[in-house]
Structure 1
């Protein structure tokens, strides 16, 4: 606290600076005065109130007597008598006036004392207080009093026998006696207070010595100790009260100080020896520290931040630059004479306020020594208070060279990897060309006359070719993913049709093992989508193919649900479950690693490249999704995938071609039955599920059932259960039986139709095909039309002239043979120029163009043909391309190409594309 604040506090507290004796006297006087004054105030107040009550009682007695004596005068209206009665008040000095009022409040008689302070009272009406006491002829209400100025007023009713009120009497008294008594008491109290103060001062001067004398003795001892620095002095102990305890505490403090003084003297005597010892130890530590610094391989030096003078340099630095302590660092490092040392970084070591910043690290190459250094520097205070720069430099030339070598090796490895990926991508066309020939000519050979052994050999060749093609596709896809050259398409597609195609492709393998293929798709999810159907098909084919491959009994189920929708897109959640061999937790850890499978024995047992799942995972990640697996060894597996697709430009298709048709559905697997019911209801039919075949009897008496769709497994379709079903069904005249079985064998399907089924189909029959066949069945045409179509399918290209362009002789021969097999006239060309010449020879109905022709490219050929012929009646163009070029679909459409075929393609794919565009062109 400052001196000014102490002065202000002293002015506010007058008892702060006086002596203790004065303070004690002031406290005693103040206490006695306050107590005495409070007593006097209470006494005076009590006496005045008592005197005032006595005066009021006297006035009330006078009013009662005068009122009783005035009843006759009021009754007989004798004012003189009333005045004589009031005149008796002249003997009462405290009464100044009295008035008698009639019952209506009019003054009747009055008395005015001599020397009163009220005046003549010529007009004196009944006061307002009388109106509350005398409200008409009521009974008496008692008296009331009040004060007004220096007077006391009393108003009392006049009544006869305390029953009937005749009027009222008003007496006015003086307060002079009360004031005189109050003044006398006040003077007496003040005299008593003055006498008390005098007595208190005399007593306090004697009594305070009991407290002040020991304190003054203690103060004298304290002043002697402070003046003489003699800590052996002691204050005299005179009592056991608080002052005595204070004396004891002071004496104990002096004893402690005396003891400390002795210890300090002893310590001071040995301090010089201790300083010498510590100085020796410090010199030894400095020498050891210098030894450590000199043994470090790092260059450590200290330089003045303003003059750049070297203040310290360890041995490692001296070996490089010599002993240059005391020289300028730019000279000592033999750097450029025109500038400072390249190591100096003062601007980075201090902030704007001149305070040291955090340590700064950097790398530099010294042009003098031709070595690389990593430096760490900071500003530190020197022993004389100035700021210096501490620098630690490490020679990293060898490490730098190693990094350069590693970077060079990395670039070479990346270049080699890039070359490998580009090589595999370029080899796609070269690898597929002979594979296309093998697959195509094997298909043609299958249609020739073969004995049983040759047919078996051909079947083995077909399976081996497909397996080899799958491995090649995996390797090529993986190389594209590794080189980031795989792009996704954005084209409209129907997910339901895509799943149907995959299940139809896997059905022969699954049904051969007795497996059930089940799909469960939320309504409205599959159509109206946009994405890359080829890559989605690849993922589903891999996962469903693995499920079928690794499951020996039970079922494989695919479920499709719609997740959260977002702006312009949809999240699809697809679950694929099987009852196969399962995957242990340890095997799951390496499940998505390239060229690996859950168990090495799986490769030997089931085959495969080990790339399928990693490719599926990478593709899903490209489509904004992921893949998870839940499995236990021996209990099957569940793969959960998600992927982002866009909403297609075309709205979801609403097909109601079965409107009004009533269908009964039975299948021992409720998932299959529910999915079939949802599909039929989406087509407009009324579908109902049968819990068991026996429930069919309740419909024998009902009309309107048009179709009965009954799902059977292979065993049920081969035994007596099918005959029993036909017997139960025979009572339904208007219905038609459609049998759905776990088989794609045409012979078995035809056998079921021969036994009485109107239609026999595989359970995985694509939805579009099922709808078409049900419509034909309902229109009474059956499948005759379809049989006729199949019978004439070998002549679907009659009178069609096709220009086929391919630079590979094998592909040219194969495609031409497949086209001629269906009646087409094929015009062959091996180059772009030859294609231009052949097109000029005559009318062409269809052009099939290899986009990688030598010389003039396929795109340039198409451009010239369109330019020469114009757009009117120009034939459809189908591009023949490798899988690596599927991302060019949009470019093909811009060039006027109607469709494309990816090599190798199957004969069915070839005929479907040609027939679609020939029908449209027609």
Structure 2
């Protein structure tokens, strides 16, 4: 099944008609569903046979939370919000089986999304007590879904069981996820239970006693070098959702930053007019003046980097935001490491803004000219306006002289070592650059992309 799914992923990167892409999407989705059922059955069989052992090791809390971002797509398909909240007093690292804790959370959050038709899903991580060297961590997953009848709240933890038969027919699933979560929780000496009201939603709780641990690899970049901490700055958070404001504020204040908030684009502009901002986190979707309109007007404050927030991962939003001059974007729900990395990189680039970068002499590729010292791009004699990130990416590609360059190399050189693995930002810029530079019907230059392998810039006849 992994091979089938892998081939469909490759196929989706090729040129397909809309009808063909729809068929491949169905194959991929069905393959994912079947693989989930197979894995659930195998896991349950191993648990019942006593053959499943826990792999205990130090792990960062973000290791078990970051993969939940993969569920964003399912939430967005149903127009649901997915929010992750971590209380400030929760340690950042523990000793335990990160893989199995992650499996429990994916089961619970996945179920919550499946059984919720409107509203949203929230995962809250809190500390309930500390005793004998163990921190009891509570993971609470709350939804606004269909709810569970009182007489079924215990039965749903049994194998192949859901709320009732009509639930299985309507929502699908194997009915094994909660059984596996219950057994894994018991293996870790924890507890799992549910609070629910029919028609009002459910909240599943998992409590696990875990020893705190030093953060694995803390203070080091991907290459092993020390990473300097981000100095305290003033951050403006523009978001109309009070919960999102609260989450961002708690994360940033915990790191020593001063945080100001705005509920829409106009309030953000008013705050900017007063001065003193180091960086802005701007939500795309807001009532009144939205984030994109505010970005257009933010050009009056060119020295303040803007990182925009999006819950939809729509390519149009991302491209528009970057084209309007935003430094970067973050997809909700975001974790602390991602948030701080984005801010740190935006500030670093802002601090270097306006400094001419010594480097190679201008390069000509067909009718495309790139001058790294002047930071200008000319196409057929006409200037091409590029945001700073897009220019740096184009330069990194162009000066490879047509050789393939890896994603990790691009991330390190253009965005910084803390971006290791965050390849989506490269793909968005590549797609945008291709569209920007291929407006000429003759197209004497070309950006060739190979997902997961690399990129090169070559003349068309090369």
TM-score of the superposed pair, with normalisation by structure 1? 0.37
Specify which of 530, 537, 553 is matched with residue 118 of structure 2.
Answer: 553
Cα drift, residue 720 of structure 1: 5.7
Structure 2 counterpart SS, 1:780:
helix
Question: Aligned in 2, Cα 1:650/1:758: closer, same or farther, shift over 3 Å?
Answer: closer
Contact 2:5 2:28 in 1 (8 A): yes
* Helix, strand or coil at the partner of 2:200: coil
Q: 1:356 matched to which residue of 2?
A: none
Specify which of 300, 306, 312 is matched with residue 737 of structure 1: 306
Distance 1:451 1:437 in 2: 23
Mapped pair 1:490 → 2:56: yes
Q: Distance in 2 between matches of 1:534 and 1:755?
A: 40
Contact 1:577 1:639 in 2 (8 A): yes
Query: Which residue does 1:761 correspond to in 2?
Result: 330
SS in structure 2 of the partner of residue 772 of structure 1: helix
- Map of 1:811 onto structure 2: none
Distance 1:611 1:461, change over 3 A: same
For residues 124 and 337 of structure 2, the distance between their equivalents in structure 1, rounded to whole angstroms, comes to 19
Q: Name the counterpart of 2:87.
A: 522
* Superimposed CA distance per residue, residues 854-901 of structure 1 (whole angstroms, 9 cap, x where no aligned partner): xxxxxxxxxxxxxxxxxxxxxxxxxxxxxxxxxxxxxxxxxxxxxxxx
- Kindly provide the CA deviation profile for residues 714-772 of structure 1, in whole angstroms up to 9, marking residues without a partner as x: xx49x863455346645545423322121123333112222453433322245434433
Structure 1 residue 526: Cα displacement = 4.5
d(CA) in 1 for partners of 2:397 and 2:252? 27
The structure showing larger relative contact order (alpha-carbon pairs under 8 Å, at least 6 residues apart) is 2
Partner of 1:681: 253
Distance 1:789 1:585 in 2: 60
Secondary structure of the residue aligned to 2:231 is coil
> What are the within-5 Å matches in structure 2 for residues 455-854 of structure 1?
455-502=21-68, 504-648=69-213, 650=215, 653=218, 657-691=229-263, 693-696=265-268, 698-713=270-285, 716=286, 721-722=290-291, 724-726=293-295, 729-780=298-349, 782-784=388-390, 795-796=405-406
Q: Distance in 2 between matches of 1:446 and 1:641?
A: 37
Contact 2:284/2:317 (<8 A) preserved: no
Distance in 2, matches of 1:604 and 1:795, equals 48
Contact 2:78 2:118 in 1 (8 A): yes
Segments of 5+ residues of structure 2 without an aligned counterpart are 220-226, 351-387, 409-450, 454-462
Shift of 1:787: 7.1
Distance 1:442 1:697, change over 3 A: closer
| Secondary structure of 2:145's aligned partner | coil
Query: How far is 1:459 from its partner?
Result: 1.2
In structure 2, C-alpha distance between the alignment counterparts of 1:498 and 1:678, rounded to whole Å: 20
Q: CA deviation at 1:494?
A: 1.3
Q: Is the 8 A contact 1:668 1:712 kept in 2?
A: no
Partner Cα separation in structure 2 for residue 585 and residue 615 of structure 1? 21
Residue by residue over 1:65-116, the C-alpha shift from the partner in whole angstroms, topping out at 9 and shown as x without a partner, is xxxxxxxxxxxxxxxxxxxxxxxxxxxxxxxxxxxxxxxxxxxxxxxxxxxx
Q: Contact (CA 8 Å) 2:397, 2:405: kept in 1 or not?
A: no
C-alpha spacing 1:786/1:763, structure 2 compared with 1 (3 Å): farther
1:644 deviation in Å? 1.8
Name the CA distance, whole Å, in 2 between partners of 1:788 and 1:771.
Answer: 26
Residue 576 of structure 1 and its aligned partner are, at CA, apart by 0.9
Which structure has the larger Rg? 1
Distance 1:487 1:739 in 2: 43
Deviations 1:451-498 (A, max 9, x none): 332222111111111100100011011101111111111111111342
Structure 1 stretch 749-758 or stretch 531-540: which is displaced more? Answer: 749-758
- CA distance in structure 2 between the aligned counterparts of 1:552 and 1:445, rounded to whole angstroms: 31
Following TM superposition, by how much is the alpha carbon of 1:589 offset from its aligned partner in structure 2, in angstroms? Answer: 3.7
Deviation at 1:797, TM superposition (A): 10
Q: Which has the higher helix share?
A: 1
Q: Distance in 1 between matches of 2:214 and 2:341?
A: 26
The CA RMSD measured in Å over matched residues stands at 3.0
1:684: Cα distance to partner? 4.2
- Does the residue aligned with 1:779 lie in a helix, a strand or coil? helix
The equivalent of 1:438 in structure 2 is 4
With normalisation by structure 2, the TM-score equals 0.71
1:449 match:
15
Shift of 1:524: 5.0
Change (3 A) 1:606 1:734: same
Trace 1:317-336 onto structure 2 (pairs within 5 A): none
Q: Distance in 1 between matches of 2:275 and 2:132?
A: 49
Change (3 A) 1:568 1:787: farther
Question: Structure 2 CA distance, aligned partners of 1:570 and 1:735?
Answer: 41
Spell out the pairing of 1:209-220 with structure 2 (5 A cutoff).
Answer: none
Change (3 A) 1:761 1:789: farther
